[in-house]
Each structure stands twice: as C-alpha cells, then as structure tokens.
Chains A and B, each alone.
Chain A
Amino acid sequence: MSDLQIFRQETREWLEENCPQSMRSPVVAGEGACWGGRNWIFESEDQQLWMDRMGAKGWTAPDWPTEYGGGGLVKAEHKILKEEMGRIRARSPLDSFGIWMIGPALLKFGSEELKQQHLPPIIKGEIRWCQGYSEPNAGSDLAGLQSKAVDMGDHFIANGQKVWTSYGDKADWMFCLLRTDPDAKKQTGISLMLFDMETPGVTPKPIKLISGSSPFCETFLDDVRVEKDQVVGEVNQGWTIAKYLLTHEREMIGGMGLTGAGSKTLGMIAAQTIGTTHGRLNDLFMRTDVARWEIDAAAFAFTTERVTDQAKAGQGVGATSAMLKYYGTELNKRRFETLLKIGGSDDLVWEGDVSNNGWMARTLLRTKGNSIEGGTSEVQLNIIAKNILDLG
C-alpha cells in the first residue's frame, strides 16, 4: 500500500471511531453549525465532542503547520480527509472566521509570537473571531475608513465605529483595520490590529436585518487600548493584508455556492408543488424561469469545477474569485425569487407552522445581502474590468 492509501485507511478508521453518529448529517441553512469560542453554548454533547476531537488532531485546520496545532496535511492528504468526511457525511466540526480569515493572514504576515498566541486557540475552537472592516462611511470604499489608532508610546488607543461586524456580539477577539497615519494617502496609512472584545471601550450592538435576524453588529470603539505587539505585519502596511483577506473572503462566499441548496433541484421542488401535466410544469411561465435558472446554475457549477481543475493543472487565470463571487451571489438571489414564486402566499407568512416561521421569505431577504457583503457585485465587476480585462 502507498503512503496515501495507508493515510486513507487510518483516516477512515479514526473518523469511524471518533465522529458521533449525530454529527453525520449535513448542516442545512446554518442549523447545527458549530462556531466555538468562550461564549458558545453547544447544542449537544456530540457537537462538543466532535469539535474537541477534531481540534485536538488539528483537523479543524487540516493544512496548517503542526507546530501551531494544525493538521500539517499535504494537499493530497487534505483531499483524502475531505473525501472520507464526505463519505460518512460528517459535518464541519467548526465554522470559524479564525480558520477562514485571520488565521491564513497570520500564517502569511504575522510574527512568530502572534502565531504562537492566536493559532492554537483558533484550531481548538476556544476563541471566536470577528472582522472589523467596514464603517458607516467606508463600505465599498473600504480604504476610506476613519476609525483611528493613536500611538501612545507603549500602546495604541483606538477610537471610531465599525459596522457589519459578523457575530460581533458573540466573538471573543476582533481583527480590525485602523488608520494609523491620517496624513498618508488613504491606502498607505492603515494598520491591521488585534484586540479582545472584552477590552474596555469595545461595544458591539446587533443590527436587526429585514430578514428579522441579527447576524451583524455595529461595534463602537471608545478609547480602546491595543497592545503594540498585536499589530499584524508592519504599522501602516495593513492594506496589503486586508486585500489578501478580502480575496479569501470572496473565495469563501463564492465557494459556499447556493444557500440551503439541499439535494432537491429547483425543478423537482416546482414539480412537487405546482404539479405537472404530460411531464410539463403546470405553470408554463414559471417553467421557463426554473429552466433558465437551472441552466445557469449548471453552467456555474461546472465553472467552479473547471476553475479548481485549472488551478490544479497550473493553468489558473487568477482573479477569477471576483467572477465566482459576482455570478454565484446573483444566482443565489434569483434562486430564492424563483422559490418564493413556487411557494406562493404561504411562504409570505412571517411566523407560524405553515411557513416554518417564514423560512423562505426570511432567507430570500437575507440573500439580498449576498451581493453586497464581501464586496458588492459592482465592486467585483470593477475588479474584473481592472485586473483581468486591463481596462483603466
């Protein structure tokens, strides 16, 4: 047996032994996801067990170096782990902005001390992170941010207001963009800093969305002390890291695919709900909408497949994450508009059993943010025009 075959065998056995039965079903529309952190209340013992076991093995961050508690897997092994988890339908043990965002940035730009301090708790699910990027006057024009950190000699004092902080009220630490040189050109005077959300002066306030949920906060910073050693990379060089992180975020959103897509196709849902005659959906206009969407969705799915295959073959064109983010989110919005039409007026019921407490309508409303968060569709089109098409 080759090394990889042995690895597969051992992985299969380990998962069989360590993945609780109740963790062997997919997370649907966020239900049952585990985010970890100091304030996390596990929904079951199994959820905690699964996170702890995977965290101890470093498989919550399979390709991170073992010296920080990561799995240390090479690409081929990582792929096998994913396949073996998929085989038993094991759910992700830990969803984490630490793993998806600040961790990769620390690995690339952080000091040895910062890596030692922050990476192990991320991997074990002990510390949950949030992102302090957008501000009331710095949305698409992120580099125009005004929240500032003033050098006080042995520490910084930060003041300002962040907005769209995902789970800011539930997170333990924030990675935050702050202006450290007000006189420099806007991209050059920014630093990326880390601080504990329990630091005096940090106040997250949930924002209620049109969907009724509050996944985001506005976060007020009033004379917040930030230690000197919590600057990632160099002072005033934060923009480069921020851009790197934004690319990661785009890939993450683009790669997430379609919200709650489940195993049923749109056509199957429509056929069950509306009915068919001679194999044709009874509502012919809806049938056209559904077919148009499914054709585009198939083409999009093949495109994510092709982009991945090209990257593997070393033929990547780069910057395609902007296209995937743009197209994927617009497609997701269309999907829910079509689903709502299929469901009809029952799906408009805000609370109650008939609509599963308005699940469809609320999800549709939430998808409207997909093409805004992580860079609007228009910003993605700008990126394509400038970076790929070379249009000045």
Chain B
Amino acid sequence: MALVLNEEQQMLKESAQGFLAEHAPVSELRTQRDAGNKTGYSSTLWPQMVNMGWAAILVPEEYGGLAFGHVGMAQIVEQSGRTLTASPLLSTAILGVTAINLAGSEEQKTELLGAIAGGELTIALAVDEKTHHDPMQIAMSAERKGEGYVINGEKRFVVDGSTADILIVATRTAGSPGDMKGISLFLVNRNTLGINVDQTQMIDGRSAAIVTFTDVEVGLDALLGEQDRGFRALSATLDAGNAHLAAELLGIAQESFDRTLQYMKERKQFGALIGSFQALQHRAAHWWSEIELCKSVVLKSLQALDDGDVKSPALASIAKAKLCEVAELSTNEAIQIHGGIGMTDEYEIGFFIKRARPAQMLYGDYNYHANRFALLSGY
C-alpha cells in the first residue's frame, strides 16, 4: 500500500484539524487545569466528538460503527497531539473497541460496541501494576469460585480509571508472572463492590488512577475472551494503543517544531533573528529530518494494523520507540530554543513536554519497545 493518505483520510484529518482548533485549542487545557477539573478532560467536548462519529471509527459496521480504520482514526489522534486535547478517545474508542472486538463474544460485541459508538459507554484499560510497563509480569489474581471469579490486586497508571463506566482488567488465572499463558481479561463495572479507585493527577493535567481490587466478585459473563488465553488479544490491543500514542506524539513533535520555527523567525538577539544563526539552523534542520522519519514510521505501523499484517507487533514497537525518542528531542529543543520564556507557565510551549512524557511512558517507553523489537527480531 502506498505510504500516503487517501482522499477520505485526508478529509478526516482536515475536519479534525478544524474542529479541535475551534473547540479544544491548547488554551482549553489551561482552562480545565485552572478550574481544577478532576476528570482530566472536558465533559462537554466528548459528546461533540461522539457526534462527529469519532467514537465509532474503529467499530465494525455490523455493530453500528463506521469501520474507518486505524489510519483514519490516527489522523484525529495526531491532531489532538497538536492541540493537547484530552478525551476518552484512546481508552474508550481505541483500546476499548479494539480489545472487545478482538476478544469479545458476539453478545459482548453487540452490547458494548454500539454503546461505545453512541457515546453511552466509556472504558478504561487496567494493565500495569508496577512503575514500568510489562504486561507479561501481570500478577493480579483472578480465582475461579462458584459461578464466577474473585479478583484481588492493584493496578496503576489506569488512564481514565476514575471516570470510565467499565474497566478492562488484565489478570492472572494461571502460571506465574513472566508467563504469557495464564492471563485472562475481564470486563468489570467500575462501581462493583470491592473496587477502590484512587485518582491521581498526572503532570499533563489528565487523570490516571490506582485501582485496588479486594475480593471483587464477577460472573462468568465478565470474562472477555478465553480464560488463560488473554495475552494475545491484550498484546494486539496494546499494539494498537502504541501505534496511536505514536501518532499523538507525532502531533506533539510537529507542533513543538512548528511553534519553535515560528519563534526563530520572530525573536531577535545580537541585532539579528535567532533563526539566522547557523548553530540553531542545524539543530532545526536535524530536528525536521527526524520528524520526517516519524511520519513514515507512524503511517507504516497504522497501515499494518489495518491490513492485519503479521509484522504489526514489530512495527508498533518501532513506531513507539522512534516517537518516544523524537518527542523527547522535540519537547526539549522547543524549550531550549525558546529560552527563558519556554520555562514559564504563561507560555504554551512548556505544555507539550508535560503531555509528551506520560504519552511516551504509557504502555512502554523507548527502552521497553527497543527491547521488545529486539526480541521479536531474534536477538
């Protein structure tokens, strides 16, 4: 497939650009933060996004969706990286939909996917238990008891964990931490008895929860996919999540670059525009080159997801790793080249690093994905 957007994807990109610039510019993030919004996103924005059809993009047509694919969805995500727009798009419309679509029974899909597409349901994915992402190390236990399971343990860095209606929880029903086999996924209502949600405000102003399960009882119908065989679907869901996080980081990198380039053409020192200094020109040119590489690797990984390419896991890891590296470069260069003003809260450029770092770390940072890519490549 040619590494370019088709006409429909291009149109979606432009419509997302227009909508987000008008309804959710970077200044909106400041407004939400200063108002002390604990949900981490604007409650009025999400219904508008749903009206645009964005929650339905990955949902198959037979469940009331648009089936527009990952490349299409990522055009919105990339723009939301440029505007730093917080929304349940990632946890609900990407991770939630992907996991349910991959692992869910016909009944679960019929019940849940349509509700997500219609904006009636939000989801949060609960995977990590330690400070570093490593889904094979899942230890949270789910024991078979009577006509159901009992879940015990703690999840952290659960994005939207304090607001989502349903949690998709990755547990261990067999084996020990480190085993691929023995992992099971459950759909659990957030208000179930025994669940305690401790909301944490992250540096990007968004909300990620520590969720504690104490003897939480769920029915057999809560199982998402087969018992002990949940890793495959979880892994594929995380691949999609990482490809989209890479798209968001691309938006962040590009916006940081564009704003900095503009600043280099306005700011004067030593009687000259700072953009006329070769020391800065070369840094900008190198930075631009890196972003060009990022555009290619992100698009490649998204096309692979849409094609069901067997290389999707490796490509997702390449994309996430590369974007972690370049987002770090971009947000650091942005502050350095802006100079003192880049350190102020008043100026928006400093907001990009605050979203970039959580997005980099979520579901695996550079080191995690470089290691995973190496393992997948046989070394």
Give me the interface of A with B, judged by CB distance under 8 Å.
Answer: 265, 267-268, 270-271, 276, 279-281, 287-288, 290-292, 294-296, 298-300, 302-303, 305-306, 309-310, 312-313, 315, 320, 323, 326-327, 378, 380-382, 384-386, 388-392
Contacts and interface: CB of A to CB of B under 8 A. Distances in A.
B43 interface: no
B310 interface: no
B4 A309 contact: yes
Interface of B: 2-4, 261, 264-265, 273, 275-276, 278, 280-282, 284-286, 288-289, 292-297, 299-300, 318, 321-322, 370-371, 373-375, 377-379
A267 B375 CA distance: 10
Contact of B374 (A267, A326, A378, A388): A267
Contacts of B377: 265, 267, 291, 294
Given A279-B375, A300-B293, A305-B296, A385 B281 contact: yes
Contact of B379 (A276, A299, A386): A276
Contacts, number: 125
Nearest to B6: A313
A391 B265 contact: yes
A105 to B, nearest CB: 27
Contacts of A315: 4
A280 B374 contact: yes
Given A292-B370, A312-B2, A381-B282, A389 B375 contact: no
B370 A389 contact: no
A377 to B, nearest CB: 9
A378 B282 CA distance: 7
A381 B299 contact: no
A290 B373 CA distance: 11
In order of increasing CB-CB distance, the 5 nearest A-B pairs are: A385-B281, A384-B285, A302-B296, A306-B3, A381-B285
A300 B379 CA distance: 21
A291 B317 CA distance: 11
B296 A299 contact: yes
A303 B293 contact: yes
A302 to B, nearest CB: 4
A392 B266 CA distance: 12
B318 A299 contact: yes
A307 to B, nearest CB: 8
Nearest to A392: B276
Instruction: Pick the most buried of A294, A299, A313, A386: most chain B CB atoms within 10 A of its CB.
Output: A299
B322 A326 contact: no
Contacts of A327: 289, 293
A389 B273 CA distance: 14
A302 B374 contact: no
19 contacts: A267-B379, A276-B378, A291-B370, A291-B373, A291-B379, A295-B321, A295-B370, A299-B318, A299-B322, A306-B4, A313-B4, A323-B289, A381-B281, A381-B282, A381-B285, A382-B278, A389-B281, A391-B265, A391-B275
B365 to A, nearest CB: 13
A392 B322 contact: no
Nearest to B275: A391
Given A299-B296, A312-B2, A388 B379 contact: no
Contacts of B375: 279-280
B297 A389 contact: no
Contact of A313 (B2, B261, B294, B379): B2
A21 B196 CA distance: 72
A303 B292 contact: yes
A298 B379 contact: no
Given A306-B3, A309-B2, A391-B284, A296 B293 contact: yes
Given A306-B3, A306-B295, A309-B2, A382 B374 contact: no
B276 A391 contact: yes
A250 to B, nearest CB: 14
A326 B337 CA distance: 22
Contact of B288 (A295, A302, A384): A384
Given A296-B322, A306-B296, A279 B281 contact: no
Contacts of A298: 297, 318
Given A299-B296, A390-B265, 9 more contacts: A268-B378, A287-B374, A295-B318, A296-B322, A302-B296, A302-B297, A310-B3, A391-B275, A391-B276
Contacts of B294: 299
B285 A385 contact: yes
A292 to B, nearest CB: 7
A391 B297 contact: no
Nearest to B319: A299
A294 B373 contact: yes
Given A378-B282, A391-B275, A302 B300 contact: yes
A312 to B, nearest CB: 7
Contacts of A381: 281-282, 285-286
Instruction: Pick the most buried of A268, A295, A309, A323: most chain B CB atoms within 10 A of its CB.
Output: A295
Given A271-B378, A298-B297, A302-B3, A384 B289 contact: yes
B309 to A, nearest CB: 13
A385 B282 contact: yes
Contacts of B285: 326, 380-382, 384-385, 388-389
Contact of B264 (A288, A380, A391): A391
A326 B261 CA distance: 20
Contacts of A279: 375, 378-379
B374 A291 contact: yes
B288 A267 contact: no
Contacts of B292: 303, 320, 323
Contacts of B295: 303, 306
A34 B295 CA distance: 37
B288 A388 contact: yes
B367 to A, nearest CB: 8
